[in-house]
Amino acid sequence: MSYQRPKGTNDILPGESEKWQFIEDTARLLFNDYQYYEIRTPSFEHYEVISRSVGDTTDIVSKEMYDFYDKGGRHITLRPEGTAPIVRAYVEHKLFGPEYSSPYKVFYMGPMFRYERPQKGRLRQFHQIGVEAFGSDNPATDVETMVMAMEFFKQLGISQLRLVINTLGDQETRENYRQALIEHFSAHEEQLSEDSQRRLHENPLRILDSKDKADKQFVATAPSILDYLSTAAYDHFTQVTTMLDALEVPYEIEPTMVRGLDYYTHTIFEIMNDNPQLGAQSTICAGGRYDQLVEELGGPATPGFGFAIGMERLLLVLANENVELPALHQLDAYVVNIGETTNVEALKVTQAIRSAGFSADRDVMNRKAKAQFKSADKKDARLVFTLGEDELKAGTINVKSMATGEQKQVALTTIYNDFTQIFDEMI
């Protein structure tokens, strides 16, 4: 019997996890510059939190949920996305109260779960980095948040990016557009996929998001939502494009773009990388405005704007564009110890260096001296200490700076009492 990880999941091993840390650190620093602070919500939620917000007729809720009844009979689901849980927390903790800053801005990073057909850039447990801003209906919030996402990718060294935007308008817009879509698609009802025939009556907007080939041909000729915008929706969208122009940020408008979640209103956007290797999985960031969602989950009417970045897809893009992320690890000291009698002293020396606040490693495998020096080299140690039986007797240790080649004998007591002095002298 051999065990394997569940289908659609990954083990992130050392070597790879450093990249994750670097990306997460970059996000933390940038998001803090924009005054976003971290929120951590549970990995599972009451089913209703997700179904109410994401929408019953979406693929996420109708097909992709990891839901179950717990031992207390509660209907629970692993979270498929980050926004609904955060809105739940925002309402539950009354974060709209006067003691909190407005807009209230948070970021998150962590695993999401969707029962999908696994393929490149599409997993069952995947990871998102995302942000949410509550309380501002100013189009400047839409624009600065989209620009922050673009800036994040630029900081990581990704050059081939496309910002694609659209608007889903307000309720009035949606009702008018819904009628227009029903008229358009009804004319081809028989030729639509089974899913889309159902969507036609439940939620015709969802047909626009269909990945079915037959559906796509009718989506291409579908009416444009831009022709159905209410005055308020038109005004908001015009301000967004004006502000993007003012910042000289290039973008494209894609009038049939919708998102796979029902809660969006007004501005929606995706950031794509056009690498052919990613295929249909070219969207590395997606988000938009959700002005009704807080109310939907029982809070006061509060506008919101957010996005989520797909980590696994981002990593594929970085690999495809041959972006080298800086190494995170650095070893300050390696302690070569020769002969069994040095074992205890090598332990003491290594621990003393670590206690002084430096990174240190030593051989614990009884390797020959040559293999130990090789190890030190491989780990890129800045200082190499060598402790043999002669040194031990004399109460000294040899230290060599790998950068300069300089070496000397120092007293073990100096290591124990003032390691920083040795480090400063040698480096």
Contact letters for ligand ATP, residues 354-393 (x by CB under 6 A): ----------------------------------------
Residue 312 in contact with ligand ATP, rule: CB under 6 A: yes
C-beta of 85 vs 260, nearer to Mg ion: 260
Nearest alpha-carbon partner for 34 in 129, 123, 133, 169 = 133
Cis amide bond preceding 250, omega within 30: no
Nearer to ligand ATP, 128 or 375 (CB): 128
Could you tell me the smallest distance in angstroms from the CB atom of residue 363 to ligand ATP? 41
- Identify whether the C-beta of residue 170 lies closer than 8 Å to the C-beta of residue 230: yes
> Considering beta carbons, is residue 130 or 260 the nearer one to Mg ion?
260
One-letter amino acid at 93 equals H
Q: Is the CB of residue 346 less than 8 Å from the CB of residue 337?
A: yes
**How many residues form the binding site for Mg ion (CB under 5 A)?**
1
Residue from 165, 240, 308, 317 touching ligand ATP (CB under 6 A): that is 308
Nearest C-alpha neighbor of 317 from the set 163, 157, 164, 165? 157
Among 30, 123, 149, 233, binds ligand ATP (CB under 6 A): 123
3-state secondary structure of 250: coil
Of 19, 313, 362, 400, the one binding ligand ATP (CB under 6 A) is 313
Q: Which does 361 bind (CB under 5 to 8 A by kind): Mg ion, ligand ATP, none?
A: none
Q: Which does 30 bind (CB under 5 to 8 A by kind): Mg ion, ligand ATP, none?
A: none
Tell me if 262 contacts ligand ATP by CB under 6 A. Answer: no
What is the DSSP annotation of 190-216? GGS-HHHHHHHHH-GGGGGG---HHHH
CA gap 284, 270 in Å, rounded: 8
**Partner interacting with residue 88 (select from ligand ATP, Mg ion, none; CB below 5-8 Å by kind):** none
Question: DSSP H helical segments within 34-170, as ranges?
Answer: 47-54, 59-63, 83-92, 139-155
Residue 312 contact, options ligand ATP, Mg ion, none, Cβ 5-8 Å cut-off depending on partner type: ligand ATP
Q: Which of residues 44-103 bind ligand ATP (CB under 6 A)?
A: 81
122 interacts with ligand ATP by CB under 6 A: yes
- Shortest approach of Mg ion to residue 407 CB, angstroms? 59
Tell me if 334 contacts ligand ATP by CB under 6 A: no
Beta strand 360-362 with 333-337 is parallel
Nearer to Mg ion, 260 or 306 (CB): 260
150-159 burial: b if 16+ Cβ within 10 Å, else e: bebbeebebe
> What is the pattern of x (binds Mg ion, CB under 5 A) and - over residues 221-260?
---------------------------------------x
**Residue 198 touches ligand ATP, criterion: CB under 6 A:** no
Output b/e per residue, 176-185; b: 16+ Cβ within 10 A: bbeebbeebb
Please state the closest distance from residue 213 (CB atom) to Mg ion, in A.
17
124 SS3 class: coil
Comparing CB distances to ligand ATP, the nearer of 308 and 397 is: 308
What is the number of helices (H) and of strands (E) in the chain?
A: 15, 16
Least distance (Å) from Mg ion to the CB of residue 329?
A: 35
Q: How far is CA 81 from CA 43, 60, 127, 172, 273, in A?
A: 10, 9, 9, 27, 21
Closest chain position to Mg ion (CB): 260
* Closest alpha carbon to 102 in 41, 35, 33, 149: 35
**Binding positions for Mg ion, rule: CB under 5 A:** 260
**Binding positions for ligand ATP, rule: CB under 6 A:** 81, 114, 116, 121-123, 126, 128, 259-260, 281, 283-286, 308, 310, 312-313
